[in-house]
Chain A
């Protein structure tokens, strides 16, 4: 330390240091904080929250939990029928989605499709991705009536737009070298697809599809709430009847199914690599 203090006497090093802030301008920094504060006041102030009713929440939650236990698995036939219906909707919708997404995905790739085709395809993808599954499900219920058909169509629409978007992005990011090389051999467009494009996007296409199966299982539990079939219908009915012990049984079954589905999807995706 003696050498160091000797130097320190010559030129005193600073004894203070402040970490540079993310936002350099202090005024702007305080303004940002004020903005956040103002937003919280505004949003909490304008929300129509029934505070006395919310205050009852804690005892009500306790009451609800008390009525949930023990979960009631005695109506297991109803439960398995709902779960199976959800699973079937998910499987069929994923497959249909995988097939239909290929033309849509190709059409939505800027480096393959002509501009008008590209714009229409992108528009369809954006439109169906913007609206929540439940909104789409309501429309299908209005069109084809209550039941699993509406749910199936909803999941198909959601799957197609999801997988198509991934395919399009993958094609746009792929290496154009092989495409050029195969074109140079005089191959037609279908052959180009088969030899230059498919090998490059297949692993991710499969991965995305498996992921979508997983997501469809999860979403199939909710389209039933607006009457589009599956376990969600059973769940929503049990809630309306205050059958909370049956609701918990359904929820546990959903969690188990999703968990198993996730393990399966991880396993398959691990094997694809």
Chain B
């Protein structure tokens, strides 16, 4: 008894994980999040009654999709190939354009503050605008078709790849660069021998990764007329041919899964 008494005297009776101030701060954060969500939901112009019969609508949709109209598959093959081509060619274009921009956007390889800011702006602008929005712009320029799709894919991917490569460039080992500079090599040679080999795995990895994402993105380019399977999907939906839609969705599913497996395998072998 005396032992516990001395212990009681020495330590407080209550233990709390957080101090009162910390607790208050945590509650304030929760409150802020809840308020933001409530504000969002209240201001959105949503007619909630539509949700009531949503399950009926959905069930109706699925009964119309099943069974799929398998005879339609022949019409799907070419657009599907076009989708893959758009993604692949778009990724190749991206690779060529993104590399120099990435080096300009990395603090340690850029020329001056102006080139650095310009590079950063290009990367941010490219990433902020969705592929489909880019497609709207390029359809207005090149007219409907896969050309607009390729450039839309490239325009969006430049920001993605450029950012990841620039980050890798900023994290390279300074010592190696110093050693190459000490041999009297000029800036281009330092880039070639000192910097490039260090970031090459990242460059290959992000390219393959982006290609995989681009396959998925190029399936919807057709909605705004930029080529690929999206055109067929959009027209089938508008004609309420849900059995055709089912075939297209299954085809898209297969292609996306295969590209994901390919990309994962390649990336695993690189690193």
- Which residues of A come within 8 Å of B, CB atoms? 39, 43-44, 46-50, 53-54, 56-57, 60-61, 64, 84-85, 87-89, 91-92, 95, 126-127, 130-132, 134-135, 138-139, 142-145, 147-149, 152, 218-219, 221-222, 225-226, 229, 232, 235-236, 239, 251, 254-255, 257-259, 262
Contacts and interface: CB of A to CB of B under 8 A. Distances in A.
B236 to A, nearest CB: 11
Contact of B129 (A46, A50, A142, A251): A251
Given A49-B147, A134-B220, A255-B124, A88 B133 contact: no
A216 B96 CA distance: 29
B44 A53 contact: no
A57 B144 CA distance: 11
Given A46-B81, A143-B61, 13 more contacts: A47-B86, A48-B82, A49-B146, A53-B145, A54-B142, A54-B147, A57-B147, A85-B43, A131-B256, A144-B50, A144-B51, A222-B133, A254-B129
Interface stretch (B31-39, B108-116, B184-192): B31-39
A98 to B, nearest CB: 9
Given A46-B81, A143-B57, A130 B129 contact: no
Contacts of B89: 43-44, 47
Nearest to B240: A142
Contact-residue size bin, chain B (C-beta under 8 Å from the other chain): 35 or more
B45 interface: yes
A49 B57 CA distance: 39
Report the 10 A-B pairs with minimum CB-CB distance, sorted nearest first. Answer: A88-B40, A258-B128, A53-B143, A222-B130, A43-B85, A134-B220, A255-B128, A92-B40, A91-B40, A144-B50
Given A61-B141, A130-B257, A95 B133 contact: no
B57 A95 contact: no
Interface in B182-226: 216-217, 219-220, 223-224
B40 A87 contact: yes
B104 interface: no
B127 interface: yes
B28 interface: no
Nearest to A49: B147
Nearest to B39: A88
Contacts of B217: 132
Contacts of B45: 85, 147-148, 229
Nearest to B34: A95
A269 B45 CA distance: 31
